[in-house]
Chain A
Amino acid sequence: MFFIPGPLIAALTFPGVIIHEAGHLFFCRLFRLQVFDVCFFRFGNPAGYVIHQQTRNFTAQFFVSMGPFFANTLLCVLFCSAAFLPVWELKIVDPLAYFFYWLGLSIGMHAFPSTTDLSHLWEQAPGLAKQGNPLAILSLPLAGLLVVLNYGRVIWADLGYGILVGVLGPIALFKLLVR
Chain B
Amino acid sequence: MSDSSCSSCNAVFPIRSLFDLNGRTYCEKCVHTAAENARTSGLPSAVAPLVEKSICARCNSYMGSDSAPAQIGGLHFCSACAPHIKDVDYPQWLKLGLAALVVLLFVALIHGRKYFHAGRELYIGEHFVEQAKYADAIPHLAETLKIAPNSDKAALLAAKAALLSGDLRTADSALHGHRNGYFDDANDPQFKEVNGLWTRATAAMDKAERAGKLEEQEGQEVAAAKLMHEAAAEYPQMPDLALAAEMYDGGVEFARANYDGYLALGEKVWARQQDAYAAAVLSSGLACKYAVTGDGAYRLRANEMLETARRLAESNPEIMKNLSEYFPRIEHRLSTRQIITKQEYDRRFAKSGGSSK
Chain A residues within 8 Å of B, Cβ to Cβ: 15, 18-19, 22, 25, 29, 33-38, 40, 51-54, 56, 75, 78-79, 81-83, 85-86, 89-92, 96-97, 100, 103, 123-124, 127, 174-175, 177-179
Q: B145-153, B260-268, B334-342: which lies at the A interface? A: B145-153
Q: Which residues of B contact A35 (CB under 8 A)?
A: 87-88
Q: Per-position contact with A for B57-73: 1 when CB-CB < 8 Å, else 0?
A: 11000000000000011
Q: B120-128, B251-259, B279-287, B304-312: which lies at the A interface? A: B120-128
Chain A residue, CB-CB nearest to B184: A91
User: Contact between B116 and A85 (Cβ–Cβ < 8 Å)?
Assistant: yes
List of 10 A-B pairs having minimum Cβ-Cβ separation, nearest first: A53-B73, A90-B148, A82-B108, A54-B74, A82-B112, A85-B119, A35-B88, A85-B115, A178-B123, A123-B46
Cα(A25)–Cα(B98), bound, Å: 13
Chain B residues within 8 Å of A, Cβ to Cβ: 39, 44-46, 57-58, 72-75, 77, 84-91, 94, 97-98, 101, 104-105, 108-109, 111-112, 115-116, 118-120, 122-124, 127, 144, 147-148, 150-154
User: Contact between A90 and B144 (Cβ–Cβ < 8 Å)?
Assistant: yes
Cα(A123)–Cα(B39), bound, Å: 12
A-B contact pairs, 22 of them (CB 8 A): A15-B101, A18-B97, A22-B98, A25-B90, A34-B72, A34-B87, A35-B87, A36-B77, A51-B58, A54-B73, A78-B108, A81-B112, A90-B118, A90-B119, A90-B150, A90-B154, A92-B115, A92-B151, A96-B111, A97-B111, A175-B123, A178-B127
User: Contact between B87 and A174 (Cβ–Cβ < 8 Å)?
Assistant: no
Contact of B44 among A15, A52, A56 (CB under 8 A): A56
User: Contact between B120 and A177 (Cβ–Cβ < 8 Å)?
Assistant: yes
Cα(A54)–Cα(B123), bound, Å: 48
Interface majority SS (helix, strand, loop, mixed), chain A: helix
User: Contact between A36 and B119 (Cβ–Cβ < 8 Å)?
Assistant: no
Contacts A52-B73, A54-B74 given; does A83 touch B112 at CB 8 Å: yes
User: Contact between A36 and B87 (Cβ–Cβ < 8 Å)?
Assistant: yes
Known: A35-B88, A51-B57; 6 extra A-B contacts, CB below 8 A, are A22-B94, A89-B154, A92-B148, A92-B150, A100-B108, A178-B124
Q: Which residues of B contact A103 (CB under 8 A)?
A: 104
B82 to chain A, nearest CB (A): 10
User: Contact between B98 and A36 (Cβ–Cβ < 8 Å)?
Assistant: no
Contact of A91 among B84, B97, B124, B148 (CB under 8 A): B148
Chain B residue, CB-CB nearest to A33: B73
Contact of A85 among B44, B77, B118 (CB under 8 A): B118
Cα(A65)–Cα(B344), bound, Å: 93
